Amino acid sequence: MRTIYWLGIIIFRSATTALFGYRVIGKEKLVQKGGVVVAANHESFLDPPLLGIAYDSEINYLARKTLFKGFFKWLYTQWNAVPIDQERPDMSSLKQIIKILRDEARVVIFPEGARTIDGKLQPAQAGTGLIVAKSKAVVQPIRIFGARDCLPRGSGRIRLARITLVVGDPIQFTQEELSAKGRNGYQKIADRIMAEIALLELPS
């Protein structure tokens, strides 16, 4: 694990635990080896590191290409971020993500594609299904609770609220499911992932 990555994890984990009572329910379900798509709902800018600190080893993230400028280009690279052009997605970024997964590493992906505005889960985008079909990676569904209360979309002010991650059972798609072709086939994979995320609830 690189020093900069490790320091970021330690600092963020300590801060979120102290400020937001951060906890992970079902951590024993996390797949620790092999290529894994870490699929979660998207509530806040806080989501990527919230998922990262749930693991005890490195994971990879997707980040807007526009963020990779000057010092931040170096920093995001140290934090295992892959630049993505959200306006015009290209095959080079997609191939890089698939290669990371085939090299048996973990990649955080938000099937909804964008942060929620009202706190409700949004439909999944077909691109997530395409990545899973091409990489044949295991999918780790995780649902984030409370991040929107701390930093909602459109707000630049952090508020105090409890943040909890609920981890679901890994999804291993069959070869038949992964052989899906075209947008409709990829959409079915993405929809199943989003449905599994929706099933995850806070313990009563």
| Residue ranges in the chain modelled with pLDDT below 50 | none
Alpha-carbon Rg for the chain in angstroms:
16
Kindly tell me the sign of the dihedral angle through the C-alpha atoms of 27, 33, 39, 44. positive
Torsions phi, psi for 201 (to 5 deg): -130, 160
Q: Report whether 101 contacts 131 (CB < 8 A).
A: yes
Residue 69, pLDDT score:
86
**Size (the chain), residues:** 204
What integer pLDDT is reported at residue 93 of this predicted model? 81
**pLDDT, position 87:** 64
How far, CA to CA in Å, does 33 sit from each of 39, 104, 158? 16, 7, 34
What's this model's pTM, rounded to 2 decimal places?
Answer: 0.92
Within 13 Å of residue 26, how many CA atoms lie on the same side as its CB?
19
How many angstroms separate the CA atoms of 84 and 103, rounded?
19
What is the structure's pLDDT at 86?
Answer: 65
Instruction: Provide the b/e sequence for 95-127 (b: ≥16 CB within 10 Å).
Output: ebbbebbeeebbbbbbbbbebbeeeebbebbbb
Which three-class secondary structure string do you get for 139-166?
EEEEEEECHHHHCCCCCCCCCCCCCEEE
Q: Note the pLDDT of residue 89.
A: 61
DSSP for 75-94?
A: HHHHTTEEEE-SSS--HHHH
Show Cβ contacts of residue 56 under 8 Å, excluding neighbours closer than 6 positions.
Answer: 32
Encoded amino acid at 192, one letter: R
> What distance, in Å, lies between the first and last C-alpha atoms of the chain?
36
Cβ pair 197, 40 in contact under 8 A: yes
Per-residue pLDDT reduced to its tens digit, 129-167: 999 999 999 999 999 999 999 998 888 788 999 999 999
